[in-house]
Amino acid sequence: MPATRKPRASRKKPCPDCKRAGQVSETFQVGSRTKHESTDRQEALCLTCFGTGHAPE
């Protein structure tokens, strides 16, 4: 019986926004009346790939 090869896994392109991380850093606004940008950053789900890290097809 001949040995069969496994099918090669398809290589998907990395997401252009998060670079396969699935998360992006975003700035956020603070303050109740006069909102201003904070110097800190927070992690958020990448909306381009929805956290998968692969470019949408």
Q: How far apart are CA 54 and CA 11, in angstroms?
A: 9
Confidence (pTM): 0.58
pLDDT 10s digits, 2-57: 778 877 766 888 999 998 899 999 999 999 999 999 889 999 999 999 999 999 87
Q: What residues does 34 pair with on adjacent strands?
A: none
| pLDDT over 70 (residue 1) | no
The pLDDT value recorded for residue 6 is 79
Residues of 26-39 as b/e, b for ≥16 C-beta within 10 angstroms?
Answer: eeeeeeeeeeeeee
The pLDDT value recorded for residue 5 is 82
The pLDDT value recorded for residue 11 is 80
Residue type, position 50, single letter: F
